Amino acid sequence: MEFSAKQIAEYVQGTIVGDENATVHTFAKIEEGIPGALSFLSNPKYIHYIYTTQSSIVLVNKDFEPEQEVSATLIKVENAYESLAKLMTLYEMYQPKKVGISSLASIAETAQIGKNVYIGPYACIEEGAVIGDNCYIHPHVTVGVNVKVGANTILYPHVTVYHDCRIGNNCVLHAGAVIGADGFGFAPSPEGYEKIPQIGITILEDNVEVGANTCIDRATMGATIIHKGVKLDNLVQLAHNVEVGSHTVMASQGGVAGSAKIGEWCMFGGQVGVAGHIKVGDHVTVGAQSGIPGNVKSNTTLMGYPAIDPKQFARSAAIYKKLPDMYAELGRLQKEIEELKKQLNA
């Protein structure tokens, strides 16, 4: 499908600079632009590409003023990145969707399947499971006994949702995600470790997105809860009885230990580790590879291990680089002091 600059500007409430009849049919990065493509510019590091890009239309922030001639038609908006996201969502809506249930899918007689559901080959829907309207169940997905999946939810290939868990509306679970596996619960005994049964469940509320190969364990008792709007990257591990507040985002390879409570609107960088049984407040930002060993107040920014104020961490990092020289200098000073002591004693 083709869209004109005029149509796009009306949809994103932007202002056109250039040819309002310019059309696009695809998307491209600004540095890889081709005729008929829509690109965007929001990062100042990429400004120089706007003068050479072959893209037909470029979304820019409203305060952008070119320093030389631009061949592309510009559409000025409040936030170019957000406007691009809206357009890509619209574009995806127009893409053809598969419908129907494959004859190779395994669906229990007691399972309830909603309207306009797609279920791919070798998907398994077990006893008592409920699949909401307009869901998209890709091949090799397993939906366990008595699982409930809300409307408009997408489960990509090899997603596994264990028995009794709950998935909300408008959720996306990427390939290989595991929801509701046993929490890591073992009691030491003279013979080794005795497994503690994990009899709770995992609950994902509405509009949650879970990355590929991310694991969210079921609770020992009660529920592991991921509140509405949470976005988890690939390879994130959330342990039993964890609770993550609404609209929190976590980048890849993060881990949260058992019974930790994470607040709303938090932002965790990659490889952040959170200790168990602690509470992290709302609007907390944590830099990549940081470790959080204790409670954190709301509206805090942290970095490092143990996580501290970013400015303190930067100063500490600068000192850390100098430690070998400082150690050598300390040794030299100690020798001088010993020599002075000998002279004084003499």
Structure tokens at 128: 């008592």
- Among residues 35, 28, 25, 34, the alpha carbon closest in space to that of 4 is found at 25
DSSP letters of 317-344? HHHHHHHHHHHHHHHHHHHHHHHHHHHH
In angstroms, rounded to a whole number, what is the distance separating the alpha carbons of residues 254 and 244?
A: 13
Q: Is 138 a catalytic residue?
A: no
Candidate list 163, 240, 247, 277, residue with the active-site label: 240
* Angle (CA) 309 315 317, round 5°: 100
- Listed in order, strand segments (DSSP E) in 157-262 are 160-161, 166-167, 172-173, 178-179, 186-189, 192-195, 201-204, 209-210, 215-216, 223-226, 231-232, 237-238, 243-244, 249-250, 255-256, 261-262
**Catalytic residue IDs:** 240
